[in-house]
Chains A and B, each alone.
Chain A
């Protein structure tokens, strides 16, 4: 997603992991961790001079 935002023209792309996010079911959480699945918050700006 970070790369897609930059490639699409967004600037000042920032991301951070959402603290405390987890799946309710332990089996789902374990699978998610195995695949590096996490929740992130992202901000970005469309350039003003378009």
Chain B
């Protein structure tokens, strides 16, 4: 590898640890304040209906760390297979599972196996099910043509390899499948000091 590639690989490892730490902190200390909104306050800000938030397990709601509402334009139908990329504590997966019903299914993918277990427990507590696979969004652990819909909420911006993530979403979708994602974008080139700061990536 070149020095630049080595440096990026090293930074990616640091970033992975920082992302896991940050999201675990949100899940474990939902009453804490972060410099992003989270929990019910954030979900309400993005238009999640109160009946969804009342019905979902409190742990899934309080750990919510999304940046928008991917359900608003997902138009999920009963029987569809949904992939929730970066499923976290599972709120979006649970809402998707209500939409696709028992004849459909929801598959979560998350970097953190602990969050996968939490999401599955939250899904079970809400009377539904989801499979969650530990994995990277740059290398989604699913075969081609698996999903009718990919949803994602605030995680693709955390990747150094966004092109690879987009290609992976394309690969795992069925022909005619669709994405509905919400994420953070920047209108200007970020400075190298920002790019090299893992705390800013995960905040």
Contact = CB atoms under 8 A, between A and B. Distances in A.
Contacts of B178: 43-46
A24 B33 CA distance: 9
Given A28-B203, A35-B190, A46 B170 contact: yes
Contact of A18 (B35, B68, B180): B68
Contact of B175 (A8, A10, A21, A47): A47
B4 interface: no
Interface in A1-50: 1, 4-5, 7-10, 18, 20-25, 28, 35-50
B58 interface: no
Contacts of B136: none
Contacts of A43: 73, 178-181
Interface of A is mostly: loop
A40 B156 CA distance: 12
Nearest to A40: B185
Contact of B46 (A4, A9, A20): A20
A36 to B, nearest CB: 2
A34 to B, nearest CB: 8
A2 to B, nearest CB: 8
Contact of A9 (B68, B162, B170): B170
A1 to B, nearest CB: 6
Contact of B176 (A8, A24, A45): A45
Contact of A8 (B47, B72, B163): B163
A42 B188 contact: no
A48 to B, nearest CB: 4
Nearest to B174: A46
A10 B170 contact: yes
A44 B176 CA distance: 10
A1 B162 contact: yes
Contacts of B73: 41, 43
A46 B147 CA distance: 11
Interface in B167-196: 167, 169-170, 173-188, 190, 194
A5 B156 CA distance: 12
Interface of B: 33-37, 45-47, 67-70, 72-73, 154, 156, 162-163, 166-167, 169-170, 173-188, 190, 194, 203
8 smallest CB-CB distances across A and B, nearest first, come from A36-B187, A48-B176, A18-B68, A25-B35, A39-B67, A46-B173, A28-B35, A50-B175
